[in-house]
Amino acid sequence: MSKLRLIITVLVLFFSPIDLFGQTKTVSGQVLNEHLEPLSKVFIHTLDMQFKTTSDENGNYSITLPKDTKVLKIQCIGQESETIKVLNHCILNIILLDDIIAEFETKEEHLKDYIKRNKEIGKKYKRAIEKGLFGENKPCN
């Protein structure tokens, strides 16, 4: 019985890497707030929560995902949550907006302010690249 168990274990260990080869991609990058400061403890995960990671004190993160993963959810206390398309980028740098809650603000006013601030993300991203905070996105191999 123990020989059979050994043979099965060897076979499983031998064939497992073949099943995983080429089936995953690693996405990494940096997360900044809208003031271009690094965000630590940002929770980055797939929608089903099976693959997850957090950013370090410099906002850097790395996550290995199934090759067909298309979307990541980005969450951090004090920041607006984002759902981001992954596509085929290995480097995914992110800027999160501050989660601003004003007293006596209606949902409509909050949404209007969010949309206005969100339109500025492209300019902030460009400024982050100019300052050398972000590199260029590269496709996964």
* Structure confidence at residue 12 (pLDDT): 56
Q: pTM of this prediction? A: 0.74
Give every residue of the chain whose pLDDT is below 50, as ranges: 18-20
**In a domain? residue 1:** no
pLDDT, tens digit, for every residue of 98-135?
987 777 778 888 888 888 888 888 899 889 888 888 86
Q: Domain limits at 29?
A: 24-130
**In a domain? residue 80:** yes
Q: What is the CATH number of the domain that holds 103?
A: 2.60.40.1120
Please check whether residue 10 is in contact with residue 53, taking contact to mean a CB–CB distance below 8 angstroms.
no
- Domains: count for the chain: 1
**In a domain? residue 79:** yes
- Is beta strand 43-45 parallel, antiparallel or unpaired with respect to 71-75? antiparallel
* Structure confidence at residue 28 (pLDDT): 93
Rounded distance, CA 19 to CA 10, Å?
15
Could you tell me the sign of the dihedral formed by the alpha carbons of 101, 102, 108, 112, in that order?
negative
* Structure confidence at residue 9 (pLDDT): 64
* Structure confidence at residue 19 (pLDDT): 43
Give the full edge-to-edge strand order of the sheet including 52-54: 52-54, 43-45, 71-75, 82-85
